[in-house]
């Protein structure tokens, strides 16, 4: 800082006064400009307090997108799906659940013998033309369960399950029809048996009729390996299948590309493994005007 300039005292001699004025002017002209510190405006130190910010609520991304997993299971939530019957096809081409009319799969294990045949017949359920699959379970040579299942595929490639007519058999007598259901009858809703774009962790309803049909599946693996009588399969999709109607029942199903189900393992109770033992092509059955009647051969 430079000292302030003092006002001069009275001068008697004019020349001296003039000289003093000249000297003062020169001094003023040659004085350096004030340093920045002289003109600096003093600002108070910034506050160290942190402003309060309202918390941001983050909505977690769903594990299953509704359009990719249309029958997603949500715990304690009501289940209802809107369908456009005209959008469905009875031609099932999903690579993990292909249903070519005339094809028969045979499974054996744990004293059971299962025969599943794609009949080629169709049935209209909830306005949807579905493909009929005949599923028979034998113990030895005796037919113990006889079922027709109804499937259709949506434009995305998801395979939907629209119902079943099933019967437990004692000879040709039906002893129980427990498990039978039909979409849009008595509140029943269709479900999905195979997604077009499955991901690990997907949980979906396969069927729904409260108290009668409540199967659901969770995808556990996309790279499983299964070895069996019909060959070795890789990149196998494995699901865990459960139902609240039988809380002690736990099953794992394995699906191979281009084949479908190649193994079914029951992990609860006495357990047991059903393996695919044969796949064969055949002729599709002729359309039938008669409704399905279980246990009649």
Pick the CATH number of 85-280 from 3.30.43, 2.40.360, 2.60.40, 1.10.260: 2.40.360
Segment 256-270 mean pLDDT = 93
Please give the torsion angle defined by the CA atoms of residues 140, 144, 148 and 151, in that order, rounded to the nearest 10 degrees: -70
pLDDT band at 289 (very low <50, low <70, confident <90, very high): low
The pairing of strands 216-228 and 173-176 is unpaired
Percent of the chain with pLDDT over 70: 77
Q: In the predicted model, is pLDDT for residue 58 greater than 90?
A: no
**Residues 293, 210: Cα–Cα separation, whole Å:** 24
Segment 23-36 mean pLDDT = 42
pLDDT recorded at residue 192:
98
Q: In the predicted model, is pLDDT for residue 73 greater than 90?
A: yes
**Residues 188, 125: Cα–Cα separation, whole Å:** 11
**Residues 237, 224: Cα–Cα separation, whole Å:** 6
Q: Residue 231: beta bridge partners?
A: 228
pLDDT recorded at residue 282:
85
**What's the chain's length in residues?**
297
pLDDT recorded at residue 287:
78
Name the nearest CA neighbour of 11 among 3, 1, 22, 2: 22
Q: How confident is the prediction for the chain on average, in pLDDT?
A: 83
Segment 80-90 mean pLDDT = 97
């Amino acid at each position: 800082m430079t000292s302030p300039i003092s006002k001069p005292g009275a001068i008697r001699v004019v020349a001296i006064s003039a000289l003093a004025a000249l000297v003062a002017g020169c001094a003023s002209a040659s004085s350096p400009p004030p340093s920045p510190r002289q003109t600096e405006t003093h600002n108070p130190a910034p506050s160290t307090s942190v402003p309060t910010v309202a918390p941001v609520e983050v909505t977690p991304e769903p594990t299953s997108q509704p359009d990719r997993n249309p029958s997603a299971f949500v715990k304690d939530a009501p289940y209802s799906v809107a369908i456009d019957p005209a959008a469905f096809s009875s031609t099932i081409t999903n690579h993990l659940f292909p249903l070519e009319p005339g094809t028969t799969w045979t499974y054996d294990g744990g004293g059971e013998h299962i025969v599943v045949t794609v009949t080629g017949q169709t049935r209209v359920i909830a306005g949807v033309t579905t493909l009929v699959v005949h599923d028979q379970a034998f113990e030895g040579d005796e037919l113990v369960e006889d079922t027709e299942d109804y499937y259709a595929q949506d434009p995305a490639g998801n395979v939907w399950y629209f119902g079943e007519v099933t019967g437990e058999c004692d000879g040709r007598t039906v002893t129980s029809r427990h498990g039978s259901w039909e979409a849009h009858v008595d509140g029943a809703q269709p479900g999905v048996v195979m997604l077009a774009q499955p991901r690990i962790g997907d949980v979906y309803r396969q069927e729904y009729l409260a108290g009668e049909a409540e199967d659901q599946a969770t995808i556990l693996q996309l790279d499983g390996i299964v070895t069996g009588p019909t060959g070795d399969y890789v990149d196998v999709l494995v699901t865990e299948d459960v139902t609240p109607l039988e809380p002690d029942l736990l099953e794992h199903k394995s699906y191979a590309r281009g084949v479908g189900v190649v193994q079914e393992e029951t992990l609860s109770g006495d357990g047991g493994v059903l393996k695919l033992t044969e796949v064969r092509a055949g002729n599709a059955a002729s359309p039938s005007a008669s409704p399905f009647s279980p246990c009649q051969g």
